[in-house]
Amino acid sequence: MSMVQEQIDVDVPLTTAYNQWTQFEDFPRFMEGVEQVTQLDDRHNHWTTKVAGVTREFDTEIVDQLPDQKIAWRTTGGEVQQMGVVTFERLDDQHTTVRLAIDFEPDGIAERAADAMGMVDRRVKGDLRRFKSFIEDHGVEGGGWRGRITPGG
């Protein structure tokens, strides 16, 4: 497994940043290579990605979600093996740190080479910069789900 960890400060309140991140179907608007995310229920999403001309589909399950603090997930099917967590830290009334950590298993020679060259780190960093622009330009979240999901629950 490989790990990527990145963070960014966004100029919006904590609740705004958190609420927007729960809008998984908006991810293609700021995540490079994400073609579509379909939310199946409170815990499950179906993803379609296209990276370097290769389309992949997989499912994720939210395994821990605590409003205004964190969302943790893992893949449950398809060609992608990963798990991760995004956390939110209030800096003050109008600023939030978003931290993203992803463990993933590169599949094949091309993905292992891309990982070794730091391309995955750069992509995640770019996704966080685009999230920052997206949420700051809008100023408000496009919705939010504030339910609690507990591990094993």
pLDDT tier at 136, thresholds 50, 70, 90? very high
Kindly calculate the radius of gyration of the chain based on its CA atoms and give it in whole angstroms. Answer: 15
For residue 87, the enclosing domain spans 2-138
In a domain, 146, yes or no: no
pTM for this predicted structure: 0.89
Q: Distance between CA 120 and CA 55 in Å, rounded?
A: 16
Q: Distance between CA 43 and CA 147 in Å, rounded?
A: 10
Q: State the angle between helix axes of 108-116 and 119-138 in degrees (0 to 180), rounded to the nearest 10.
A: 70
In a domain, 95, yes or no: yes
In a domain, 28, yes or no: yes
Question: Given a cut of 70, is residue 109 above it in pLDDT?
Answer: no
Closest CA to 64 of 40, 84, 94: 84
Tens digits of residue pLDDT in 33-70 = 899 999 999 999 999 988 777 788 999 999 999 999 99
Q: Which two tokens stand for residue 28?
A: 């293609």
The number of domains in the chain is 1
In a domain, 63, yes or no: yes
Report the CATH number that the domain containing residue 7 is assigned in CATH: 3.30.530.20
In a domain, 48, yes or no: yes
